[in-house]
């Protein structure tokens, strides 16, 4: 495997790990904030709770939107970081 391909694979793995970590952190933050605001954890689709449809929709929309934004930012940040370091690796005199 060439050096460039291995760098690309490492960048993908790091990007995936960063996106997963960002999604997990956001979900934990949403759960804590929801509990502080409502006194209980956010409803999940498979729960047999007394949550209304409006609460289910709000929890799903909030979680989905924030997790998607966190994943995009983590992926873009990782791509920028690896591109910056790939350029330095190609020309170490810069």
Confidence tier at 2 by pLDDT (50, 70, 90): low
How far apart (Å, rounded) are the C-alpha atoms in residues 69 and 85?
24
Model-wide pTM > 0.85: no
- How high is the mean pLDDT of the chain? 81
- In terms of pLDDT, which residue wins out, 42 or 11? 42
Q: Which of 87, 67, 80 is nearest to 23 (CA)?
A: 67
């Amino acid at each position: 495997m060439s050096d460039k391909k291995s760098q690309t694979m490492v960048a993908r793995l790091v990007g995936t790990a960063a996106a997963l970590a960002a999604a997990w952190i956001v979900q934990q933050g949403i759960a804590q904030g929801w509990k502080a605001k409502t006194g209980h954890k956010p409803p999940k689709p498979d729960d047999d709770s007394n949550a209304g449809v409006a609460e289910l929709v709000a929890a799903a929309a909030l979680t989905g939107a924030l997790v998607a934004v966190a994943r995009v930012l983590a992926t873009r940040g990782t791509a920028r970081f690896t591109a910056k370091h790939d350029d330095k690796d190609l020309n170490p005199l810069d």
